[in-house]
Amino acid sequence: MSAGWKLSAFAPKRVVQAALLAHDEIEEWDYDLVISGSEIAEDRPNDWVLEGWYPRRPRAAQKQAFASLFEGKVPSITIEKLPDEDWLTLSQQGTPPIRAGRFYVHTPDYPPADNAINFAIPASQAFGTGQHETTAGCLEMLDAMKARGIVARRIADIGTGTGLLGFAALALWPYAEATASDIDPVCAGVVAENAALNGVTPGPERGAMTMVIADGMDHPLLKLRGPYDLLIANILSGPLVELAPDFGRSVSPGGSLVLAGLLAGEQEQAVRRAYRRARFRPVARLQRGDWAILWFRRRHSYGR
């Protein structure tokens, strides 16, 4: 296989995490340019590197795309030619497995773990590989909800990316009807591939997952299959605030809502205000890094 190329930029943790989040927001991305970020060493938790892996020599367009992920001053970017090996496998070597509750998420070149719910998700296909703290936090929250006795029969995963959170919810509630959606058409193929890789059945039946392309809840099937007693949305704080009324209409009374993609602090407070107005009450919160993951329940019409 021909050699690939790698772009690298060293920066503080918060800068690299902001760049990863910026990448997740871009719809028209060159998906041959695989992006990952990680700490340089365990004893240097605030020193991170953003890496871009490309199968050909990066041209001005790829360099500009990589640099555009940084706000303000762009760190120094180095470009190096890789050995004559599978460049994608090399890129995934920088994507270690993660544990979140009972879940173990790994790229296909890592083996599954014992005594865990395993998912193999190829790196950097779409947002939601498990590496981002918001996705890992959602997995942890779903596992905690199951442990507290939550029952889910109709599940929606809005902004699914790779399909991972929908797969995880089905693993915990295997007799549920699951519907996943994303605004990016690329995700339909990604979810189908990952479903096959992880033995998840596609389709409308219980224990299976249906995928649609939609902006928020704007799809006939999403409306038809609701109301949901578990809705997951790991997107961004702005869209979460905008979608609060739609989610209020889409979650059944007493149903659960898991929200992520929001920074602790001002973003979290804005989201909390929006969902209080939409008649949700907070149940639990966890934080991974700078990111908050929130669990709400829909108030009954007679509740206060």
The per-residue pLDDT for range 1-56, each reduced to its tens digit, is 445 788 999 999 889 888 888 887 776 777 678 787 877 877 788 889 998 888 78
**C-alpha count within 13 angstroms, C-beta hemisphere, residue 49:** 15
Domain 117-298 of CATH type 3.40.630.10: no
The one-character DSSP state at 113 is: P
Strand order in the sheet with 103-106: 98-100, 103-106, 117-120
| 166, two tokens | 């929908």
Range(s) within the chain of domains with CATH label 3.30.70: 5-94
* Cα dihedral 21/7/193/137 (nearest 10): -30
Q: Where in the chain is the domain with CATH 3.40.50.150?
A: 117-298
The helix (run of H) or strand (run of E) holding residue 197 is: helix 186-198
Residue 24 to residues 17, 82, 133, 231, 236, Cα–Cα distance (Å) = 11, 25, 13, 21, 10
Nearest alpha-carbon partner for 193 in 130, 93, 108, 117:
108
Written as tens digits, the pLDDT of the chain (304 aa) is 445 788 999 999 889 888 888 887 776 777 678 787 877 877 788 889 998 888 788 899 999 999 999 988 889 999 988 765 555 555 555 567 888 999 999 888 788 999 999 999 886 544 444 456 888 899 999 999 999 999 999 999 999 988 999 999 999 999 999 999 998 888 899 899 999 999 999 999 999 999 999 999 999 999 999 999 999 999 888 899 999 999 999 999 999 999 998 888 889 999 999 999 999 999 999 998 888 999 999 987 644 4
Does 5-94 carry CATH code 3.30.70? yes
Read off the pTM: 0.72
